[in-house]
C-alpha cells in the first residue's frame, strides 16, 4: 500500500485508541496492554505519539508479568527524563525493587538501565548496590543489578559513590552462579579503571576464578561452555580486569603470581592442541581467550618465557587463512616488538611480514604489516626494512602512503650509520611519493644536513644530480634550492656544477613551481650573490625583470625588490654578515615523530614502540626546526642579523613606588630581573638564528612603533611559579599583581591581589580569565567580578576557585583592562596554574619504589631529558625545588646518594595518575638527567617539561 494509505490507517487506529482511553467504560488490564502495545508499535514505525503515557504508567502497578512488561517497555522507549510522570514512574520502580520478586525486580532494573538518565541515577544509585550485595537476592536479580549499576556509573559516575559495598561486590567473583560473576566482572573492571586502589583485592579473586575455568573440562561447566570452550566470555572479562593492575609482586603474593602464570601457560598450551570442532564458533571463542591472554602478557611485560611463547604463537597466525586472525596477530606483535624480552623473537618473522606486505589483499592487514616492520626495526635490519617499505610505497594504497613516508623518514634518520644513505633514502622518498612528503620531512633532512658537516658536500652533489631529471617533484626543488643556497660552493669547483650551471638549473624549475617555492628560490639566488660574486649580474637581471618587480604576488614582489636593493647597495662585508651560512638548529623533538604520533593518536601501538628501546647509540640526527610557512613575510623580530639575543639584565628589585603587596606574602621574591622599556615586545619571538623555515628571507628594519612600549615593567615568567605558590606576578609603574594560592588534590584556590601604585583612580577595572576551548574541557575556573573602581594606593582582591578535570598543558590568561587618566590600559599575563599544582606527595619504601618503577616501563609512560644546569647545582636548593614541585622527596631510596628520587599522585576529577621521578646530577659536566614515569604519556611529558626548567 501507499504511504498515504498507511498514514490514514494509523490515524484511524489512533483515534480508536484515544476513544477507548477516554471512554466511560473502564478498560481491563489486557485491553490497556493491547492498546499501549499498539501505540508502541506505531511509534516504532516513525509516527509521533502524544497520549497513552498515563495508561502505560498504570500498567506498572499490575501484578501480571505481561502487562508490567509492556508498561516498562513503553516507558523505556517513549518517556524522557523531563517528563512530568517521572515521579510516578520512580515510585512504581521502587515498589517493584522492594517486592523481592526477581521477575519484577528484573523488569524494574532493566528499565532503569535502558533510560539511564541523571534522574534515574539520583533516585536509585543508593538502592541498587544494596540489592547487589544482599545475601537474599536471587541470582538473576544480582545479574541485572550489576549491569544496571554499570550503566548508571558510565552515564553519571559522580552520582554513584563507591561506599561500603565496594569491598563486598569484589567477593561476587567467588559467586557460584557464573552469570553473576560475568556481570560483576564487567562492573568491577569499569570501577577499577577509575579507582584501582579500592578494588585491588579483586586481583587474587580474579586469578583464582580464572584458574578454575581454564583448568576445568568442557563438561564441568555445561551451561557456560560454548563449542567446547568453557566460559569464554567470562575468561576474557577476567583477563581484561587483570590488565587494570600491574603483575602481582613475587615478594607479596607469590602464590597469586605463580597461579596466574600457570593459567597463561595453560591457555597458550590449549592453543596448540588440535581443535575439538571444525566450526568457526569454536575457533572464535578459543582465539578470543588466547588473544586476551596475550594482551595481559604484554601488559605485564615481566615474564620472558611467556612473551616469547606468545610471539611464537602469533607467528603461526601470520599465515592463517582467516584474515581477521592475521590482522590481530600483526597488531599484537607490534606491541610485543616493544618489549626487550620478545623483540628478538619478533624479528625472526621479518620475512613472513614482508611477504604479507606484498601479497595481502586487505589494505588494513597491509597497514598492520607496515606498523610491525616499523616496530621491529633496529640497526641490524634497518636498511632491509627501509628498502622494502620504499619498494612497497610505489604500489601502496593512497590511504596509507603518508604514514609510510613518515615511518621511512623516521627509520632512515634513527638508524642511519652512514648519512649518505640517509640523504639518498629521503631523496628517493621524494621521488617515489613526493605528494605525500610533508613539510616536516624535508625540513628534517635540511636540518640534519646543516647540523652535520660531513654530509653537506655529498648532499649538495646528490641534489644537484637529482634536479637534472626532466621532471622533478616540487619538494625536491625546495630541498635542492635550500641546500645549494647554503652549500653550493662545496661543488662549484667541478665545471659540471659551476655556479652558473647551478643557477640555470634551479631557474629552469622556477616558473613551474608554486609561490612558496619561488619565494624560497629567490632567497637562494641572493645567497648565490654572496657565495658566487661572478653570477651577481645574472641574478640581478632576473630580480630586475618585470615578472619579478611587478609580480602579482606581494610576497614575491617584496622579495625581488628587497633582494635587488640589497645586492646593489650592500658592501661585501654586509652581504657576508646578512647572508652567512645557517647555524646549527637547536635540539628539539623530531617534528616527523610528533606528526606520526598525532596521526596515530595516543594509546596506539606506535606510541608503545617509541622511546622504549634503542639497541645502539642514541637517535641519529641533529636538532629540529619548528615548521613555519616559507611564504610568510619576515617580521621585524626575525633577527636576520643574529643580534636578537638580549643580554641578561642585572638582577635587582622591581621598580616599585609603594611595595603594596610585599607584606601579603611570606616568601615573595627578593629580586626580579626587570626588562628594558619595550624589550619584551621587541624580542619576545626572537631566537639566536634565522627562522626555522628553510628560507633566508628579506632583511627588514624594525618598525619604530615597536619601541613605544609600556612603562618599565617586571613580568615574572611561569617557570618561577612552578615550585612556588606565592609572589608578584606582574608589576609596572601603574599596577602590581600578586598571587597567593593553595592546592589540595584536584582543587585549588588562588587569591589575586591588584594594587594601584598611583594616586589616581583606576576606572572600569575589569580582570577577565581567558581559557582556550581545549583548556576549558580540562580545567574549571570560577571567579567573581571585582569592584570596577580601584582607588589610588588601594588594593582589591579576587578569588579564583580551580578544579582540575583532567591533565592539561596550557595556562589560562589573565587579561586586565582599565582606564587611567583618560587612557585605556590593557595587560595580559599567564596565570601560573600548572599540572604539578595538583600533585600530592606519596611516601614509598625503596623496594616499593623500584617495583613500581619497573611496572611503569612502557615507552609512553617514560619521558627523559638531559640538559645543562642553568643555576648553581646546590643540593639543598634542588631538594627544596623537588618538594615545592609537589612530590615527596624519598631519602635513601636510590643506590646513588647523589641522586634525587620523588613520588606523588596527580589528582584530577576523572582519575588519579601516579608519578615517579628521578633526577641524576653530574657535577663535573654541570648537567642533569631527569626521568619521569607516569601511567599517562601526556602527563609524563608535561611534568618533565615543567621540572626541567627549574634547574
Secondary structure (3-state) at 95: helix
Among 213, 141, 132, 125, CA closest to 170: 132
CB atoms within 10 A of CB 24: 4
Architecture of domain 836-949: 2-Layer Sandwich (3.30)
pLDDT at 107: 93
Among 778, 750, 916, CA closest to 841: 916
Residue 881: which region, alpha, beta or left (left: phi > 0; alpha: psi -120 to 50)?
Answer: alpha
d(CA 749, CA 742): 6
- β-sheet bridge partners, residue 915: 904, 934
| E strand or H helix at 31 | helix 29-44
In the Cβ-directed half-sphere of 947, how many Cα atoms lie within 13 Å?
37
Return the CA Rg of the chain: 35
SS (H, E, C) 624-667: CCCCCCCCCCCCHHHCCCCCCCCCCCCCECCCCCCCCCHHHCCC
In the Cβ-directed half-sphere of 184, how many Cα atoms lie within 13 Å?
30
CB atoms within 10 A of CB 56: 26
pLDDT at 857: 76
d(CA 477, CA 496): 19
Q: Helices 178-194 and 202-214: crossing angle, nearest 10°?
A: 140
Residue environment code for 458-497, b if the CB has 16+ CB neighbours within 10 A, otherwise e: bbbbbbbebbeeeebbbbbbbbbbbbbbbbbbbbbeeeeb
| E strand or H helix at 918 | strand 912-922
pLDDT at 185: 94
Secondary structure (3-state) at 360: coil
d(CA 714, CA 674): 5
Beta-strand pair 813-820/762-770: antiparallel
Cell matching residue 119:
534522574
| Alpha helix (H) residue ranges in 343-397 | 343-347, 350-359, 363-376, 382-393
Is 37 annotated as contributing to ligand binding? yes
Is 35 annotated as contributing to ligand binding? yes
Contacts 24+ apart (CB under 8 A), 159-166: 159/118, 159/121, 159/122, 159/125, 160/121, 160/125, 161/125, 162/191, 162/195, 162/198, 163/129, 165/129, 165/130, 165/132, 165/133, 166/191, 166/195, 166/198, 166/199
Among 345, 248, 332, CA closest to 305: 345
914 secondary structure, DSSP code: E
Each residue's pLDDT tens digit, 886-909:
888 888 888 888 889 999 989 888
Secondary structure (3-state) at 674: coil
Each residue's pLDDT tens digit, 320-360:
989 999 999 999 999 999 888 888 999 999 999 999 988 88
CB atoms within 10 A of CB 333: 29
pLDDT at 355: 92
d(CA 476, CA 442): 8
pLDDT at 237: 95
Q: Which residues touch 101 (CB under 8 Å, ≥6 apart)?
A: none
pLDDT at 848: 81
Cell matching residue 784:
567573581
What is the fold, at CATH topology level, of the domain defined by 302-376?
1.25.10
- pTM to 2 decimal places: 0.59
Residue 676: which region, alpha, beta or left (left: phi > 0; alpha: psi -120 to 50)?
Answer: beta
| E strand or H helix at 453 | helix 453-467
Is 77 annotated as contributing to ligand binding? no
Is 36 annotated as contributing to ligand binding? yes
Percent of the chain past pLDDT 70, that is, above it, reads: 85
CA distances from 835 to 481, 501, 879 (A): 44, 57, 20
d(CA 510, CA 503): 10
d(CA 386, CA 388): 5
d(CA 603, CA 937): 9
pLDDT at 41: 92
- Nearest 10 degrees: CA dihedral of 771, 775, 777, 780? -60
| E strand or H helix at 849 | helix 846-855
d(CA 695, CA 652): 40
Burial of 177 (0-12, 13-18, 19+ CB in 10 A): middle
Secondary structure (3-state) at 42: helix
Is 34 annotated as contributing to ligand binding? yes
Q: What angle do CA 838, 879, 722 make, to 5 degrees?
A: 35
Is 724 annotated as contributing to ligand binding? no
Residue environment code for 120-135, b if the CB has 16+ CB neighbours within 10 A, otherwise e: bbebbbeebbebbbee
Q: Which residues touch 513 (CB under 8 Å, ≥6 apart)?
A: 474, 477, 521
Is 20 annotated as contributing to ligand binding? yes
Contact of 655 with 730, CB cutoff 8 Å: no
d(CA 152, CA 17): 35
| E strand or H helix at 456 | helix 453-467
What superfamily would CATH give domain 718-833? Gamma-adaptin ear (GAE) domain (2.60.40.1230)
- β-sheet bridge partners, residue 763: 819
Contact of 658 with 755, CB cutoff 8 Å: yes
Cell matching residue 197:
586502589
The ranges assigned to domains in the chain are 302-376, 498-583, 718-833, 836-949
Cell matching residue 58:
498504570
d(CA 691, CA 639): 8
Q: What angle do CA 853, 857, 860 make, to 5 degrees?
A: 125
pLDDT at 620: 39
Which residues of the chain fall short of a pLDDT of 50? 602-716
Secondary structure (3-state) at 538: helix
Among 418, 474, 472, 695, CA closest to 579: 695
Q: Which residues touch 747 (CB under 8 Å, ≥6 apart)?
A: 801, 802, 803, 804
Residue given cell 590511504 in the structure block: 399
pLDDT at 211: 92
Residue given cell 656544477 in the structure block: 497
217 secondary structure, DSSP code: -
Among 821, 804, 845, CA closest to 939: 804
Amino acid at each position: 500500500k501507499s504511504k498515504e494509505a498507511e498514514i490514514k490507517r494509523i490515524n484511524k487506529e489512533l483515534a480508536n485508541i484515544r476513544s477507548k482511553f477516554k471512554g466511560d467504560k473502564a478498560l481491563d488490564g489486557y485491553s490497556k496492554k493491547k492498546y499501549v502495545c499498539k501505540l508502541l508499535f506505531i511509534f516504532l514505525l516513525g509516527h509521533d505519539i502524544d497520549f497513552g503515557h498515563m495508561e502505560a504508567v498504570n500498567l506498572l502497578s499490575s501484578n501480571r508479568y505481561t502487562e508490567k512488561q509492556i508498561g516498562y517497555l513503553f516507558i523505556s522507549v517513549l518517556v524522557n527524563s523531563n517528563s512530568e510522570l517521572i515521579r510516578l514512574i520512580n515510585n512504581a520502580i521502587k515498589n517493584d525493587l522492594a517486592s523481592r520478586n526477581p521477575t519484577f525486580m528484573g523488569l524494574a532494573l532493566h528499565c532503569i538501565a535502558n533510560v539511564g538518565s541523571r534522574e534515574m541515577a539520583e533516585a536509585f544509585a543508593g538502592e541498587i548496590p544494596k540489592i547487589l550485595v544482599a545475601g537474599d537476592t536471587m541470582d538473576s536479580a544480582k545479574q541485572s543489578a550489576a549491569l544496571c549499576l554499570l550503566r548508571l556509573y558510565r552515564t553519571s559516575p559522580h552520582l554513584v559513590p563507591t561506599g561500603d559495598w565496594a569491598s563486598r561486590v569484589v567477593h561476587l567473583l567467588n559467586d557460584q552462579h557464573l552469570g553473576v560473576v560475568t556481570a560483576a566482572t564487567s562492573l568491577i573492571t569499569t570501577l577499577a579503571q577509575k579507582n584501582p586502589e579500592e578494588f585491588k583485592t579483586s586481583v587474587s579473586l580474579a586469578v583464582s576464578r580464572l584458574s578454575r575455568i581454564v583448568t576445568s573440562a568442557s563438561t564441568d561447566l555445561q551451561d557456560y561452555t560454548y563449542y567446547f570452550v568453557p566460559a569464554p566470555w567470562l575468561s576474557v572479562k577476567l583477563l581484561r580486569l587483570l590488565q587494570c593492575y600491574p603483575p602481582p609482586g613475587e615478594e607479596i603474593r607469590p602464590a597469586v603470581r605463580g597461579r596466574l602464570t600457570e593459567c597463561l601457560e595453560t591457555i597458550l598450551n590449549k592453543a596448540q592442541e588440535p581443535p575439538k570442532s571444525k566450526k568457526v564458533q569454536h575457533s572464535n571463542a578459543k582465539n578470543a581467550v588466547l588473544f586476551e591472554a596475550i594482551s595481559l602478557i604484554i601488559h605485564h611485560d615481566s615474564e620472558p618465557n611467556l612473551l616469547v611463547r606468545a610471539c611464537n604463537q602469533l607467528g603461526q597466525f601470520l599465515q592463517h587463512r582467516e584474515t581477521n586472525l592475521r590482522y590481530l596477530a600483526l597488531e599484537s606483535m607490534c606491541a610485543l616488538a616493544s618489549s626487550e624480552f620478545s623483540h628478538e623473537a619478533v624479528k625472526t618473522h621479518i620475512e613472513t611480514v614482508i611477504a604479507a606486505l606484498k601479497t595481502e589483499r586487505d589494505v588494513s592487514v597491509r597497514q598492520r604489516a607496515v606498523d610491525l616492520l616499523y616496530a621491529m626495526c633496529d640497526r641490524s635490519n634497518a636498511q632491509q626494512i627501509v628498502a622494502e617499505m620504499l619498494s612497497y610505497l610505489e604500489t601502496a594504497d593512497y590511504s596509507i602512503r603518508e604514514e609510510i613516508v613518515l615511518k621511512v623518514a623516521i627509520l632512515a634518520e634513527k638508524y642511519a650509520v652512514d648519512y649518505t644513505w640517509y640523504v639518498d633514502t629521503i631523496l628517493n622518498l621524494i621521488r617515489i611519493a613526493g605528494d605525500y612528503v610533508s613539510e616536516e620531512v624535508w625540513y628534517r633532512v635540511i636540518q640534519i644536513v646543516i647540523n652535520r658537516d660531513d654530509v653537506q658536500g655529498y648532499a649538495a652533489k646528490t641534489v644537484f644530480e637529482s634536479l637534472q631529471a626532466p621532471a622533478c617533484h616540487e619538494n625536491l626543488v625546495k630541498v635542492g634550492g635550500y641546500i645549494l643556497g647554503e652549500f653550493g660552493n662545496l661543488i662549484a669547483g667541478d665545471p659540471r656544477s659551476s655556479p652558473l650551471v647551478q643557477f640555470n638549473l634551479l631557474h629552469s624549475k622556477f616558473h613551474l613551481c608554486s609561490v612558496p617555492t619561488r619565494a624560497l628560490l629567490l632567497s637562494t639566488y641572493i645567497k648565490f650573490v654572496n657565495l658566487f660574486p661572478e653570477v651577481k649580474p645574472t641574478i640581478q637581471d632576473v630580480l630586475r625583470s618585470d615578472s619579478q618587480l611587478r609580480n602579482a604576488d606581494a610576497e614575491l614582489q617584496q622579495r625581488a625588490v628587497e633582494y635587488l636593493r640589497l645586492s646593489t647597495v650592500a658592501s661585501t662585508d654586509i652581504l657576508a654578515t646578512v647572508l652567512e651560512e645557517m647555524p646549527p638548529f637547536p635540539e628539539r623533538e623530531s617534528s616527523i615523530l610528533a606528526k606520526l604520533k598525532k596521526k596515530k593518536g595516543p594509546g596506539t601501538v606506535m606510541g608503545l614502540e617509541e622511546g622504549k628501546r634503542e639497541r645502539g647509540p642514541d637517535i641519529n640526527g641533529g636538532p629540529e626546526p619548528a615548521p613555519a610557512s616559507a611564504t610568510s613575510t619576515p617580521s621585524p623580530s626575525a633577527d636576520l642579523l643574529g643580534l636578537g639575543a638580549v643580554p641578561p639584565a642585572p638582577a635587582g628589585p622591581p621598580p616599585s613606588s609603594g611595595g603594596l603587596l610585599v607584606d601579603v606574602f611570606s616568601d615573595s621574591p627578593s629580586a626580579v630581573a626587570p626588562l628594558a622599556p619595550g624589550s619584551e615586545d621587541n624580542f619576545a619571538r626572537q631566537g639566536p638564528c634565522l627562522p626555522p623555515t628553510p628560507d633566508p628571507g628579506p632583511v627588514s628594519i624594525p618598525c619604530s612603533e615597536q619601541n613605544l612600549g609600556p612603562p618599565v615593567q617586571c613580568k615574572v615568567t611561569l617557570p618561577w611559579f612552578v615550585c612556588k605558590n606565592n609572589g608578584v606576578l606582574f608589576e609596572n609603574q601603574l599596577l602590581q599583581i600578586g598571587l597567593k594560592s593553595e592546592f589540595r588534590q584536584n582543587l585549588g584556590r588562588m587569591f589575586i591581589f591588584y594594587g594601584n601604585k598611583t594616586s589616581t583612580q583606576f576606572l572600569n577595572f575589569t580582570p577577565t580569565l581567558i581559557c582556550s576551548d581545549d583548556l576549558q574541557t580540562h580545567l574549571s575556573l570560577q571567579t567573581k567580578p571585582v569592584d570596577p573602581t580601584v582607588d589610588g594606593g588601594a588594593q582589591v582582591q579576587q578569588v579564583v576557585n580551580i578544579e582540575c578535570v583532567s591533565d592539561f598543558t596550557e595556562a589560562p590568561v589573565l587579561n586586565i583592562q582599565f582606564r587611567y587618566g583618560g587612557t585605556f590600559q590593557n595587560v595580559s599575563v599567564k596565570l601560573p596554574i600548572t599540572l604539578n599544582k595538583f600533585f600530592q606527595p606519596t611516601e614509598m619504601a625503596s623496594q616499593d619504589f623500584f617495583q613500581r618503577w619497573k611496572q611503569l616501563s612502557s615507552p609512553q609512560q617514560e619521558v627523559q631529558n638531559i640538559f645543562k644546569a642553568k643555576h648553581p647545582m646546590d643540593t639543598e636548593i634542588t631538594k627544596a625545588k623537588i618538594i615545592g614541585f609537589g612530590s615527596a622527596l624519598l631519602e635513601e631510596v636510590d643506590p646513588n646518594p647523589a641522586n634525587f628520587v620523588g613520588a606523588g599522585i596527580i589528582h584530577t576529577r576523572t582519575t588519579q595518575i601516579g608519578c615517579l621521578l628521578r633526577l641524576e646530577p653530574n657535577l663535573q659536566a654541570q648537567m642533569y638527567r631527569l626521568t619521569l614515569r607516569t601511567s599517562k604519556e601526556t602527563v609524563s611529558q608535561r611534568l618533565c617539561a615543567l621540572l626541567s626548567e627549574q634547574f
